[in-house]
Structure 1
Amino acid sequence: MIQDDNDVLEPPINFSMVDEGIFRSGFPQPANFPFLKTLQLRSIIYLCPEPYPEENLEFLRSQNIHLFQFGIEGKKEASSSAASSIPKQTILEALKVLIDVRNHPVLIHCKRGKHRTGCLVGVLRKFQNWCLASVFEEYQRFAGAKSRTTDLRFIETFDVVGLRDCLYGIIHHYYRLAYYASKKRRLLLYKQAQQDMQTYQHYKP
């Protein structure tokens, strides 16, 4: 990506737009910071357990970007029949952050932007009602020869129905009530909705 004749903006490895306000990549290096500035990020979802480098933290502070860290170990696949090392509850918590538009624009990344990032994007696609074949194709496009059967099985078996129903129920309830409400009543409903969203944030299947 070129900004002008002298400045070349370099995106992080495996960078791509996932959806409006959602991006994915491998680990950003200092050379990528000028490019990241153009995204006007509000949040970063970091899926590795290692501490974030101080140079990267300084960049986040300078841009007022909030860091959400979900430490998932990057283990190699032992065999295609082995259980996934990706913890479902951790991915669920990351998904809650990801679908909250208050955190957008947001960048998801792990080390290479393949497996951990691919699993989170995969469950997001299920939440968006993508067919499984398309979800798998997207995962494999980024993972390449490093595609893991255990990751695909994790995505396939991940249940997003309960989370979707919980969120949609809150939205439908308050949109319906607010339609008939006075300004004062809408303010009270807004405060109640905030409390219910706190319940949603602590949802566990």
Structure 2
Amino acid sequence: MQLVSPLYFSFVQPKLCRGSYPREINLAFLKTLQLKYIVSLTPDPITDNPVLSKFCEEQGIEAVHIRCTGTYSKDKPKVKRKKKPVPIEYDVVVRCVQFLINKNHYPCYIHCSNGQLVTSLVIACLRKLCYWSTVSIFNEYLTYMSSINIHERKFIENFNLEIEVNGLDMTDKAPWILASKMKTAGENDLLPSLRFHGI
């Protein structure tokens, strides 16, 4: 049996992987990951697809849909990507963080329609919670995108929200997402932070 990974597939962290919208040809590969969750950053949930819905049911995978309407429509006039606004809002990133911070949600596969722009923006913002340098974040981003426009750069750089995390025991926090760090003078107000409310 041939195993075919989704386009742009890679591991973000152990037990967290990313890629494009799963196709039927990818299901045998995804089965090997023993996933608990698939997080879809798409206009419609993958459960609308009968093949993917059946796959999730058979494998005991819970499909989580975080609605993201930022896809490029054929009906809209063509605009060069360097002039296009970012196709997601910060609330999409916040909802992803609130879900992915719980280690009990792993193994997990996160995807958008093509595995590039929306997923890359979310992962770039997640990297800020790991205190990656801006250079490292943009280098990883450019692995999946041929370039980064000014809107995408600003979206990532300006992601400095305080994210509320409710009802999570600190022992269940994913170890790769840092809860706090002493900021240097130059970092003030540039990094996102997490505020935990225990159970």
C-alpha displacement of 1:72: 1.1
- Match for residue 153 of structure 1? 154
Superposition TM-score, scaled by structure 1 size: 0.72
Cα offsets for 1:18-50 (capped at 9, x unmatched): 101110001111111111011010111100112
Residue 15 of structure 2 is aligned with which of 6, 18, 21? Answer: 21
Runs of 4+ in 1 over 3 A off after TM superposition: 75-83, 195-198
- Sort the Cα spacing of 1:79 and 1:111 in 2 relative to 1 into closer, same or farther, 3 A: closer
- Match for residue 110 of structure 1? 112
- Match for residue 187 of structure 2? none
User: How far, CA to CA, are the matches of 1:62 and 1:126 in structure 2?
Assistant: 36
Q: Which amino acid aligns with 2:163?
A: L
SS in 1 for 2:63: strand
C-alpha displacement of 1:90: 1.9
SS in 2 for 1:40: coil
User: How far, CA to CA, are the matches of 1:63 and 1:143 in structure 2?
Assistant: 32
- Match for residue 58 of structure 2? 62
User: How far, CA to CA, are the matches of 2:17 and 2:119 in structure 1?
Assistant: 10
1:119-130 → structure 2 map (5 Å cutoff): 119-130=121-132
- Identical-residue share of aligned pairs (%): 27
Alignment coverage as a number of residue pairs: 166
Contact 2:40 2:66 in 1 (8 A): yes
SS in 1 for 2:31: helix
Structure 1: segments with no counterpart, 5+ residues: 1-6, 173-194, 199-205
C-alpha displacement of 1:152: 2.3
Contact 1:115 1:151 in 2 (8 A): no
- Match for residue 140 of structure 2? 138
Contact 2:6 2:22 in 1 (8 A): yes
Superposition TM-score, scaled by structure 2 size: 0.74
Higher strand share: 2
Residue 74 of structure 1 is aligned with which of 62, 70, 73? Answer: 70
Structure 2: segments with no counterpart, 5+ residues: 73-78, 172-195
User: How far, CA to CA, are the matches of 1:197 and 1:39 in structure 2?
Assistant: 31
Cα offsets for 1:90-112 (capped at 9, x unmatched): 21011211221111011010111
C-alpha displacement of 1:122: 0.6
User: How far, CA to CA, are the matches of 2:101 and 2:59 in structure 1?
Assistant: 22
- Sort the Cα spacing of 1:66 and 1:111 in 2 relative to 1 into closer, same or farther, 3 A: same
- Match for residue 170 of structure 2? 171
Higher helix share: 1
C-alpha displacement of 1:54: 1.5
C-alpha displacement of 1:114: 0.6
What RMSD in Å do the two structures reach over aligned CA positions?
2.6
C-alpha displacement of 1:81: 6.2
- Sort the Cα spacing of 1:75 and 1:38 in 2 relative to 1 into closer, same or farther, 3 A: closer
Contact 1:42 1:66 in 2 (8 A): yes
Larger radius of gyration: 1
C-alpha displacement of 1:159: 1.3
C-alpha displacement of 1:83: 4.7
